[in-house]
C-alpha cells in the first residue's frame, strides 16, 4: 500500500509526527547470520502432512484463545517431524556452545536441548518456571533459563529467556527453535509469566539493533542442502532485494497480510489473509482456491508424491501466479511454481516429471487461516517482519524471475 518513504511523508505531513523508517543496513554482514536449509523428507506426502499440521496448529491456537482453553493436540494425530527447515547456528552461555536452531516466524519462544544437551554456565539463571509449546511438527516441555545468546559477534543478547527442553518430539535433526514470530504467541508458554520478549525484542531493548524488525532472504533451492539464506536483525540488506519494499499492515496473530491472488487473469483468492511463514514449505490454498488453480492449470494430483503434477505442454502454457499485496503485484513465474526438478526423486517422484508447489488446505476453516505463503514464496521474495510498525514488507529479489528450476 505504501512504500516506506511515502508512508513516512504521509504520516509526517498528516499528523506532524515522525515515524521510524525502516533502516537499510548496507551490506552489513555483522547484523546478519547465515541460514542453512535442512531437508528431511522421503515423500511429498511428508511435506504436505507437515504443512497441514502446522496450519491445524494455527487454527487450534486461535480456537484456544477464543475459548480460553489451552491448546490440545488430539492424541490420535501423529507427530510429523520437521521436514524442511532453515537453521541458524546460535551460541548459548558463556562459552557460546553452538546449537542448531530452526528459524521460525510462526512461533516466538527460543529454546534448546532437543538434541545437544544444554549445560548451565556462568551466564545462566534457572528461573524454575516450566515452559511448554506445541508446534505443527511436535512439541517440547522444559524449564525456563535466562542466558546469553550469541547470534553473531555483533548480535549478543544478555538475559534472554530460553526454554531448556527436558523432553521434545519432532525435532530429531535440530536442537530447538529461534522464535521470531510476534511476541503475543509466547502468551501462556512460560509458567508465571505473561509474555516472554523475543530475541528481536531484546536486541532492540538492549540497544543492539536500531529497529525492532527482522528481514529474511532465501534463494530457490536446487540442492538438498543449501547455505544461501540470510537473517538480518534491525534493518534490511539492500544487496538482497531489488526495487522498493512494499509494506502492509500485519493481520492477526501471525505475520499475515491481505492479498488478492490471480492465476493469469483467473481469480484465485480475493482480499484474503495470507500468513507469511518460514515454517511452511508450500503455498497453501483452501479448497475452493486450490480447485480454481487446478482447473486453470490443468494439473492433476499425483498419488505417489501427493503433489500436483502437469505435463510439459501444460508447463509451457503455465501463466504467472500473482499475489497483489498493498497495490504491488508479486508474480511467481512458471518456474517458481514448480518443485525444484533436482529434488523430484527426494519427494518420491520421477526425475523428468513436473510437480507444483501449490498445496490443498482442505475446506475453509477459521477465517484467517486459509492461505499460507511458505518457502516456495519466500525463496522468490525478500520478506521483512517489522514489529516496530506492526507491518510486513515484501520485495523482489535477483531470484524472483530466475529460471533455476
Q: Summarize as ranges the residues that interact with ligand NAG (CB under 6 A).
A: 40, 81, 97, 116-119, 158-159, 172-173, 206, 242, 396, 400-401
* Distance of closest approach, residue 67 Cβ to ligand NAG, in angstroms: 32
Name the minimum Å distance from CB 98 to ligand NAG. 8
**Which three cell numbers, joined as nine digits, stand for 182?**
510476534
CB 22 to ligand NAG: min, Å: 19
* CB nearer ligand NAG, residue 19 or residue 158: 158
CB of 83 to ligand NAG, least distance (A): 7
The answer to whether the beta carbons of residues 297 and 356 sit under 8 Å apart is: yes
Which residue among 46, 51, 60, 104 is the active-site one?
104
β-bridge partners, 244: none
The reply to whether 352 belongs to the active site is no
- The C-alpha cell 490443498 sits at 360
DSSP 8-state symbol, 353? S
Phi–psi pair at 190, nearest 5 degrees: -120, 130
DSSP letters, 146-213, are EEEEEEETTEEEEEEEEEEEEEEES-TTSSEEEE-S-GGGGTTTBTT-S----HHHHHHHTTSSSSSE
Antiparallel, parallel or unpaired: β 358-360 and 283-285: parallel
Catalytic residue among 60, 253, 277, 353: 277
Q: Which is nearer to ligand NAG, 159 or 319 (CB)?
A: 159
Nearer CB in complex with ligand NAG: 99/247: 99
CB of 99 to ligand NAG, least distance (A): 7
Dist. CA 328–CA 195, nearest whole Å? 35
How far is 79 from 53, CA to CA, in rounded Å?
Answer: 9
Taking the least distance from each CB to ligand NAG, the nearer of 113 and 256 is 113
Report, in Å, the least distance between residue 175 CB and ligand NAG.
8
**Please, what is the minimum distance in Å from the beta carbon of residue 114 to ligand NAG?**
10
Find, among 72, 37, 81, 18, the residue nearest to 216 by Cα.
Answer: 37
Within 10 angstroms of residue 69's Cβ, the number of other Cβ atoms is: 10
Residue nearer to ligand NAG on the CB measure, 47 or 294 = 47
Count of CB atoms within 10 A of residue 100's CB?
Answer: 21
Query: Distance between CA atoms of 358 and 324, rounded to whole angstroms?
Result: 17
DSSP secondary-structure letter at 168?
E
Q: How many CB atoms lie within 10 A of CB 54?
A: 25
Q: Is 277 part of the annotated catalytic residue set?
A: yes
Pairwise CA distance, residues 88 & 85, whole Å: 10
Tell me the residue nearest to ligand NAG as measured from the CB. 173
Cα→Cα distances 190→120, 185, 385, 400, Å: 19, 11, 24, 40
Query: Residues of 56-67 as b/e, b for ≥16 C-beta within 10 angstroms?
Result: bbbbbbbeeeee
Active-site residue list: 104, 277
Amino acid at each position: 500500500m505504501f512504500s516506506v518513504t511515502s508512508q513516512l511523508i504521509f504520516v509526517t505531513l498528516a499528523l506532524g509526527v515522525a515515524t521510524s523508517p525502516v533502516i537499510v543496513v548496507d551490506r552489513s554482514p555483522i547484523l546478519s547470520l547465515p541460514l542453512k536449509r535442512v531437508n528431511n523428507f522421503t515423500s511429498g506426502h511428508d511435506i504436505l502432512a507437515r504443512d497441514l499440521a502446522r496450519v491445524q496448529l494455527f487454527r487450534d491456537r486461535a480456537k484456544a484463545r477464543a475459548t480460553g482453553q489451552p491448546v490440545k493436540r488430539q492424541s490420535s494425530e501423529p507427530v510429523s517431524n520437521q521436514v524442511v527447515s532453515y537453521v541458524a547456528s546460535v551460541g548459548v552461555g558463556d562459552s557460546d556452545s553452538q546449537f542448531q536452531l530452526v528459524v521460525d516466524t510462526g512461533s516466538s519462544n527460543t529454546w534448546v536441548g532437543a538434541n545437544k544437551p544444554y549445560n548451565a554456565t556462568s551466564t545462566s539463571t534457572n528461573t524454575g518456571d516450566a515452559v511448554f509449546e506445541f508446534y505443527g511438527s511436535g512439541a517440547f516441555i522444559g524449564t525456563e533459563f535466562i542466558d546469553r545468546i550469541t547470534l553473531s559477534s555483533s548480535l549478543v543478547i544478555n538475559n534472554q529467556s530460553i526454554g531448556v527442553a527436558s523432553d521434545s518430539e519432532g525435532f530429531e535433526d535440530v536442537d530447538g527453535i529461534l522464535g521470531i514470530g510476534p511476541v503475543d504467541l509466547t502468551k501462556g508458554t512460560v509458567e508465571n509469566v505473561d509474555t516472554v520478549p523475543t530475541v528481536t525484542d531484546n536486541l532492540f531493548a538492549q540497544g543492539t539493533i536500531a529497529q525492532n524488525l527482522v528481514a529474511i532472504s532465501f534463494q530457490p533451492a536446487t540442492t538438498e542442502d543449501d547455505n544461501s539464506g540470510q537473517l538480518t536483525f534491525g534493518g534490511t540488506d539492500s544487496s538482497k532485494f531489488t526495487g522498493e519494499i512494499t509494506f502492509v499492515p500485519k493481520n492477526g496473530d501471525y505475520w499475515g497480510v491481505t492479498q488478492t491472488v490471480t492465476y493469469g487473469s483467473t481469480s484465485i483468492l480475493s482480499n484474503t489473509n495470507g500468513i507469511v511463514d518460514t515454517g511452511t514449505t508450500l503455498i497453501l490454498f483452501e479448497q475452493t482456491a486450490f480447485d480454481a488453480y487446478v482447473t486453470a492449470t490443468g494439473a492433476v494430483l499425483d498419488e505417489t508424491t501427493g503433489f500436483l503434477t502437469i505435463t510439459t505442454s501444460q508447463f509451457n502454457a503455465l501463466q504467472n501466479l500473482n499475489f497483489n499485496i498493498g497495490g504491488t503485484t508479486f508474480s511467481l513465474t512458471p518456474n517458481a511454481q514448480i518443485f525444484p526438478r533436482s529434488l523430484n526423486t527426494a519427494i518420491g517422484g520421477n526425475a523428468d516429471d513436473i510437480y507444483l508447489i501449490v498445496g490443498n488446505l482442505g475446506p475453509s476453516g477459521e477465517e484467517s487461516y486459509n492461505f499460507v505463503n511458505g518457502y516456495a514464496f519466500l525463496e522468490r521474495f525478500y520478506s521483512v517482519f517489522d514489529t516496530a510498525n506492526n507491518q510486513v514488507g515484501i520485495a523482489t529479489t535477483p531470484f524472483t524471475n530466475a529460471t533455476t528450476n
